[in-house]
Amino acid sequence: MTEKLLTCVECPRGCQITVTLDDGKVVSVVGNFCPRGKVYAENECVNPKRVVTSTMNSDIGVLVPVRTDKPVLKANIFDVMKKINATTCKTPIKLGDVIIANIDGDANLIASKTVK
């Protein structure tokens, strides 16, 4: 059995959580103040995900801030970044517009700012 120490990021409380794993499976989670901390810790140890934020080129030479609208698998972040770097978005673009649909699974890449 192994233990992982995590700081929960689900709320400002920042609980120090200890997760016990046996053969890659969560056996116990202790130290969380709320149920969200338990779910966070289990997911972080078994299937970590992240929202990707970056910038991409536009057709007018301005960098456009972008992000995924849902977390993507941490293991897929480099593939997501390759797709972002290989794409040039067309302006005008509004905050929240989908730039690349289904960039990873059901996550879309969206604009984080309006660019005219």
CATH number of 2-47: 2.20.25
- Region for residue 63 given its phi and psi (left: phi exceeds 0; alpha: psi -120 to 50; beta: otherwise): beta
Spans of all domains in the chain: 2-47, 53-111
The residue behind tokens 């997911």 is 43
User: Options 3.40.50, 3.30.70, 3.10.530, 1.10.357; which CATH number does 53-111 get?
Assistant: 3.10.530
DSSP 2: E
Do 2-47 and 53-111 have matching folds?
no
Q: How confident is the model at residue 95 (pLDDT cuts 50, 70, 90)?
A: very high
76 exposed, middle or buried (CB, 10 Å; 0-12, 13-18, 19+)? middle
What pLDDT does residue 26 have?
Answer: 95
Dihedrals phi, psi of 71, to nearest 5 degrees: -65, 145
Q: What's the pTM value of the predicted model, to 2 decimals?
A: 0.81
